[in-house]
């Protein structure tokens, strides 16, 4: 099959073998499970259970009141012991409402059953089922899957299952493909049915030979209509836009969605979760997560329950080494450093990277930009980072926007290529934040102006109405006066002429003429 290239990219040392030496393991049931209630997009899910209530595994414990985000399910049985502000897995270290379950060890589950033959069910019903199963994208962005596979502006002709895990160190998708290839393929078949996609491609980095072999042998047992495509090992091939470009040669329009070019791209972990939800009725209560880096003794992959405290998992990976220095959620290119380890594992958490001293760059002072262009050479979006840096640093947001700052995917390639060690991405994030704030302000101002204009228009209208009314009144008065005058004139005429009886004598007239 023909593959295309994207501009730039980096060949990085993958460090994938670090966490795949040891076989994956199912993480032990923790004493507490913690579920942050803030959801993607800033909505707060509402607890569906009360403090003190016993919950069962698979039970819905919280729901987005707007139903935009899928519900949260308990990963084991136990008692709800708190709904309180706890630190969230975020670099800011901010706290927000979390629901805490103390597990009781029984691991008693709600019975769940899937559908017999998904082909007998309409896509809408399956989407609903996927939504109710709490499934979000497991590649790291946690976008609700049911919304991603909802019918869009044009039909989907191509479904891409993304197994090109290009960030160094992360191997959770690799582990999934090695050990659960059949589930991924089965999930792909279901997604294809829902989307009505003509073709399905499953992309895996060509260096993941075990995963490719596992997929091929799983395929030998059926579901042969999914094409397995080895793609070059080049960061960021696993980025949605890059992978689509590599496979189809098409570009997702700037500010557009893959659906706009007839493509749907889902992570392989998401496909496996869809399979379990549809065929077995299992909600998303666990995921594979990589625990790796020089700061942890036994790097490996875990099948861990969502809500498990991060410190628990690190403990099960042999604990910290003396060198442990940094805790990163995600990979070294796009991950976020966490300030502490008493934080829960969320659905989006694909990797816990515990960096050892000297493993990564210490924070250094940036040197001036020498315009060497190394950043532009590696940018997969074909931006000019050095110009963006210049504009965003000097606050020229319009020029930065003109250079398509908003198209930056924050992949970090430019940063790593920059010999002056300028934290470019940091500047871009800041500038984007600023631009967004400005935009909101502008919208705010627009709203205010519109409100003001509407009020002014209303007032003007009222005034016009009033003026018109006054005029009408005046006109009426004038008419009345004219009538009166005419009457008076007629009376006068009558008085001068011989009195003739009126055909219909007015009572007043007759009264007046009576004496």
Count CB neighbours of 115 within 10 A.
17
89 CB-contact burial (10 Å; exposed 0-12 / middle 13-18 / buried 19+): buried
161 - beta bridge partners?
202, 266
Q: Which does 385 bind (CB under 5 to 8 A by kind): other proteins, ligand SF4, none?
A: ligand SF4
Question: Residue 106, interface with ligand SF4 (CB under 6 A)?
Answer: no
Of the candidates 481, 499, 482, the one whose C-alpha atom is nearest the C-alpha of residue 491 is 499
Q: How far is CA 350 from CA 108, 137, 328, in A?
A: 26, 11, 11
Looking at the Cβ atoms of 64 and 325, the one nearer to other proteins is 325
Of positions 100, 352, 425, 431, contacts ligand SF4 by CB under 6 A: 425
Question: Residue 414, interface with ligand SF4 (CB under 6 A)?
Answer: yes
Looking at the Cβ atoms of 136 and 431, the one nearer to ligand SF4 is 431
Per CB under 8 A, residues contacting other proteins are: 6-7, 12, 91, 93, 168, 241, 245, 251-256, 311, 320, 324-328, 330, 332-341, 355, 360-361, 363, 365, 367-374, 376, 380-384, 386-387, 403-404, 407, 412, 415-421, 423, 425-426, 429
For 485, the 3-state DSSP assignment is: helix
Looking at the Cβ atoms of 69 and 386, the one nearer to other proteins is 386
Considering the complex, what minimum distance in angstroms separates the CB of residue 348 from other proteins?
15
Of the candidates 169, 171, 513, the one whose C-alpha atom is nearest the C-alpha of residue 355 is 169
Question: Residue 324, interface with ligand SF4 (CB under 6 A)?
Answer: no
Give, for 95, the enclosing helix (H) or strand (E): strand 95-103
Q: Considering CB under 6 A, how many residues would be counted as binding ligand SF4?
A: 30
Considering the complex, what minimum distance in angstroms separates the CB of residue 33 from other proteins?
21
Considering the complex, what minimum distance in angstroms separates the CB of residue 201 from ligand SF4?
24
Question: Residue 19, interface with ligand SF4 (CB under 6 A)?
Answer: no
Ramachandran angles phi, psi of 418, nearest 5°: -75, 115
Q: Which does 340 bind (CB under 5 to 8 A by kind): ligand SF4, other proteins, none?
A: other proteins
Looking at the Cβ atoms of 112 and 334, the one nearer to ligand SF4 is 334
Distance between CA atoms of 171 and 177, rounded to whole angstroms? Answer: 10
Looking at the Cβ atoms of 48 and 321, the one nearer to other proteins is 321
Q: Which does 326 bind (CB under 5 to 8 A by kind): other proteins, ligand SF4, none?
A: other proteins
Q: What is the DSSP letter of 405?
A: G
For 139, the 3-state DSSP assignment is: coil
Give, for 486, the enclosing helix (H) or strand (E): helix 424-496
CA atoms within 13 A on the CB side of 284: 29
Residues 363, 367, 372, 375, CA torsion sign: positive
As given in the structure block, the two tokens for residue 203 are: 């992309």
Distance between CA atoms of 463 and 387, rounded to whole angstroms? Answer: 54
Distance between CA atoms of 161 and 150, rounded to whole angstroms? Answer: 16
**Overall size of the chain counted in residues:** 515
Q: Which does 286 bind (CB under 5 to 8 A by kind): other proteins, ligand SF4, none?
A: none
**Positions of E strands within 187-318:** 199-205, 226-231, 263-267, 286-292, 300-305
Taking CB under 6 A as the binding criterion, the range among 12-20, 154-162, 417-425, 507-515 that sits at the site for ligand SF4 is 417-425
Question: Residue 288, interface with ligand SF4 (CB under 6 A)?
Answer: no
Considering the complex, what minimum distance in angstroms separates the CB of residue 211 from ligand SF4?
26
User: Mask 216-245, x = binds ligand SF4 (CB under 6 A)?
Assistant: ------------------------------
Question: Residue 406, interface with ligand SF4 (CB under 6 A)?
Answer: no
Of the candidates 256, 251, 254, the one whose C-alpha atom is nearest the C-alpha of residue 401 is 254
Question: Residue 431, interface with ligand SF4 (CB under 6 A)?
Answer: no
Considering the complex, what minimum distance in angstroms separates the CB of residue 74 from other proteins?
28
355 - beta bridge partners?
326
Enumerate residues 362-401 that contact ligand SF4 by CB under 6 A: 369-375, 378-381, 383, 385-386, 389
Binding site for ligand SF4 (CB under 6 A): 369-375, 378-381, 383, 385-386, 389, 408-414, 417-420, 422, 424-425, 428
């Amino acid at each position: 099959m023909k593959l295309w290239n994207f501009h730039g990219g980096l060949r990085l040392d993958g460090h994938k073998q670090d966490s795949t030496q040891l076989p994956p393991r199912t993480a032990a049931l923790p004493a507490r499970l913690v579920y942050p209630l803030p959801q993607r997009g800033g909505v707060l899910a509402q607890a569906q259970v009360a403090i003190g209530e016993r919950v069962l595994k698979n039970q819905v414990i919280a729901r987005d009141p707007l139903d935009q985000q899928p519900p949260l399910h308990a990963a084991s049985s136990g008692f709800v012991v708190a709904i309180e502000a706890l630190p969230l897995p975020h670099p800011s270290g901010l706290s927000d409402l979390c629901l805490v379950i103390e597990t009781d060890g029984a691991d008693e589950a709600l019975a769940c059953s899937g559908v017999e033959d998904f082909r007998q069910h309409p896509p809408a019903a399956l989407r609903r089922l996927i939504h109710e199963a709490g499934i979000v994208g497991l590649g790291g962005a946690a976008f609700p899957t049911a919304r991603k596979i909802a019918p869009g502006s044009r039909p989907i002709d191509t479904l891409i299952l993304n197994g090109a895990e290009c960030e160094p160190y992360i191997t959770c998708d690799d582990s999934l493909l090695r050990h659960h290839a059949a589930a991924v393929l089965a999930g792909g078949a279901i997604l294809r049915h829902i989307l009505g996609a003509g073709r399905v491609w499953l992309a895996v980095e060509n260096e993941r030979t075990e995963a490719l072999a596992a997929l091929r042998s799983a395929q030998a047992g059926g579901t042969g209509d999914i094409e397995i495509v080895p793609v070059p090992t080049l960061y960021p091939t696993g980025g949605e836009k890059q992978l689509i470009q590599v496979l189809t040669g098409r570009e997702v329009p700037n500010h557009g969605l893959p659906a706009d070019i007839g493509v749907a791209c889902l992570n392989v972990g998401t496909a496996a979760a869809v399979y379990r939800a549809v065929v077995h009725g299992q909600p998303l209560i666990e995921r594979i997560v990589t625990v790796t880096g020089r700061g942890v003794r036994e790097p490996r992959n875990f099948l861990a329950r969502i809500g498990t405290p991060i410190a628990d998992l690190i403990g099960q990976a042999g604990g910290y080494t003396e060198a442990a220095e940094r805790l990163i959620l995600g990979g070294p290119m796009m991950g976020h450093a966490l300030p502490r380890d008493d934080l829960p594992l969320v659905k989006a958490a694909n990797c816990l990277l515990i960096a050892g001293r000297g493993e990564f760059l210490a924070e250094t002072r940036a040197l001036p930009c020498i315009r060497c262009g190394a950043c532009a050479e590696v940018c997969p979006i074909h931006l000019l980072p050095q110009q963006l840096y210049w504009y965003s640093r000097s606050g020229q947001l319009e020029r930065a926007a003109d250079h398509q700052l908003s198209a930056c995917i924050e992949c970090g390639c430019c940063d790593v290529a920059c010999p002056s060690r300028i934290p470019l991405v940091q500047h871009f994030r800041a500038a984007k934040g600023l631009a967004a704030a400005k935009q909101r302000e502008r919208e705010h101002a627009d709203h205010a102006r519109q409100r003001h204009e509407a009020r002014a228009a209303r007032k003007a209208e009222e005034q016009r109405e009033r003026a018109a009314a006054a005029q009408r009144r005046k006109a009426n008065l004038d008419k009345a006066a004219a009538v009166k005058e005419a009457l008076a004139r007629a009376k006068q005429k009558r008085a001068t002429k011989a009195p003739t009886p009126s055909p219909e004598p007015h009572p007043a007239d007759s009264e007046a003429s009576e004496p």
